Structure 1
């Protein structure tokens, strides 16, 4: 049974870890918005409780503990509004710390109200805060467990010193029960959040990936190249390869589209092996590919990569479709100057045209000056 439970939880645990690692920006944005909403909602709800409670409970009046809660909620609201307006991209750690402190402060206030403001009454809001506080934000489950364990321990110590025996029994039962409900509810909500992340990731991957070859499609490749060159082109040497399969239409017309698809897929795999893991490889549709080679330190390495690519295209085509197929390559090099993707692609495209004019099955290199 334990092995079965472990095999069930292991994939979820890996996905959860990936969620907290790769989706930090979205988590921080959502948590910050929830912090703002929860702080504002807390002030409104607290005001309603203070206004309505005297009509519902004879002799009830607000205490300094209730007023202190106003101050705390107000401070968190001010922080959330200020940070949301000042930070273009919320920092994951800063937002998480703020959300954790909010959970701690919220439960601490309810504990102080129950123990010190209303010691003769059974608790009503501590158990509710045990369930509600962890559900507000996307925080690690380990924090939720620690939060509940520490606050329950503190609460039990306080009620045993300040409350009557009957209140102690009631409060102990209600808060322990609330902890179990909280853990189940928090895990369930976390599971939904993680599954939502998985669905979004799958959709984003499909929207960025060429379905046939598995490499980046045109729009994703273009965006990745533009982003990298905007940030790094001035301090590094980069080479943009534009690659076209020679007479690819003839392959489709004589051997069929299935053979053509197999060839394109094989060439894409070859490119991924030839170029570095950090290089950007994409298919621009049809028989045209594009590669941004980062940190292209010398012309010799660029020439070596081009020759290896042409050799491997010959090899893979013979293996996959039984026909020798070649490719033409146009390359532009930009070294230690600010270059845009559009500039590099335009020059590489002209270099590719020159390769075609020279009889195909060759490469042409142009330096962007």
Structure 2
């Protein structure tokens, strides 16, 4: 019975470990895609530094090898690796000057650089002095695991390949007394390198989540969950500046009727609850690519992208008024309703112009009473 419990516990621990590992691999891949611009920049910086430093070290060791070591094999390895490295240096700096590198291309270059360093260390650890224990492989393996930002699974695959190739070559070509030392030294270094890769991946994911959280806090209006005014205006301005001449969009300004009565009669906490409800309605009823934001105390803005005609904006505006009214039945508080101003634009209209037209339409709607909408089409003026 006790053994059954122990077996179940072991299975549970293994299952939990595999689940965490799969989650890390998935999150690591997503992180590389979502934050690829910053990762590309950091990898480029690391690639330039590592390339220069490694080339200088390799050049210095080549001179020392010819000066102090009487080994033709060692000298040959250094010359070949140095020639290859100079060629790679030229290629890397040519590509960096020639064009802007894509994130995937930078990842491949970083992987190639890692492979070249590992290959050199493996060669000099085995062939020149097969009777001597290797001293470089273990620390280099650990260092390689942290110098570039790669996905966790790619990093583990590379480290495992280095370890496998190294062990096979050690067993095949090194003297018996050196084999035991090299294998036993390589095993903990491999384990440490994988742990380092894991910890680095976890730390980078935590940093990314923190930055993402702070970014969201800086662009989101807390009571409503939609974009704040500055972010809303910036997104609208960017979209309209790049709007294709054959595309159309609609800008909707929503103003809440009787909102002041809610604050005066029931307090600001109740007012925040109403604002939150409106924010939820807006997010639920517009596409995720549309811009939804709060631009004032009781005013919201929606930029509908890629509409076919003005009737689509009118239909959506009418639905919005109906749903907002249904969300706030009268009962014991003043009836909350919404009024809308809609402006439909084509290419060539900037954000201030389109906003002014929507604001004029809202003014016309407010003059008609509550729960009203009005549309202003620039194309018709």
The verdict on a shared fold, with TM-score over 0.5 as the criterion, is yes
Residue 156 (structure 1) shift: 2.7
Is contact 1:241–1:331 with CA below 8 Å preserved after alignment?
yes
Residue 59 (structure 1) shift: 5.3
Partner of 1:123 in structure 2? 134
Taking a change above 3 Å as real, the CA distance of residues 171 and 11 of structure 1, as seen in their structure-2 partners, is: closer
* Distance in 2 separating the partners of 1:46 and 1:135: 20
Find the partner of 2:299 among 271, 274, 288: 288
Find the partner of 2:40 among 28, 32, 35: 28
RMSD: 2.6
Stretch of structure 1 that moved more, 102-111 or 298-307: 298-307
* Distance in 1 separating the partners of 2:190 and 2:259: 65
Find the partner of 2:155 among 136, 144, 165: 144
Gaps of 5+ in 1: none
Partner of 2:314 in structure 1? 303
Q: TM-score, normalised by structure 1?
A: 0.89
Taking a change above 3 Å as real, the CA distance of residues 78 and 289 of structure 1, as seen in their structure-2 partners, is: farther
SS at match of 1:213: coil
Taking a change above 3 Å as real, the CA distance of residues 294 and 134 of structure 1, as seen in their structure-2 partners, is: same
SS at match of 1:219: helix
* Distance in 2 separating the partners of 1:290 and 1:320: 28
In the alignment, structure 1 residue 205 sits paired with structure 2 residue 216: yes
Partner of 2:375 in structure 1? 365
Find the partner of 1:96 among 107, 113, 118: 107
Partner of 2:170 in structure 1? 159
Partner of 1:351 in structure 2? 361
Residue 108 (structure 1) shift: 0.7
Stretch of structure 1 that moved more, 258-267 or 271-280: 271-280
Residue 218 (structure 1) shift: 1.3
Q: TM-score, normalised by structure 2?
A: 0.86
Partner of 2:237 in structure 1? 226
Aligned pairs for 1:1-369 within 5 A: 1-5=13-17, 12=24, 15-50=27-62, 63-88=75-100, 90-318=101-329, 322-335=333-346, 337-369=347-379
Residue 265 (structure 1) shift: 0.9
Taking a change above 3 Å as real, the CA distance of residues 273 and 146 of structure 1, as seen in their structure-2 partners, is: closer
Residue 343 (structure 1) shift: 2.4
Taking a change above 3 Å as real, the CA distance of residues 264 and 70 of structure 1, as seen in their structure-2 partners, is: same
Query: How many residues in Structure 1 have an aligned counterpart in Structure 2?
Result: 366
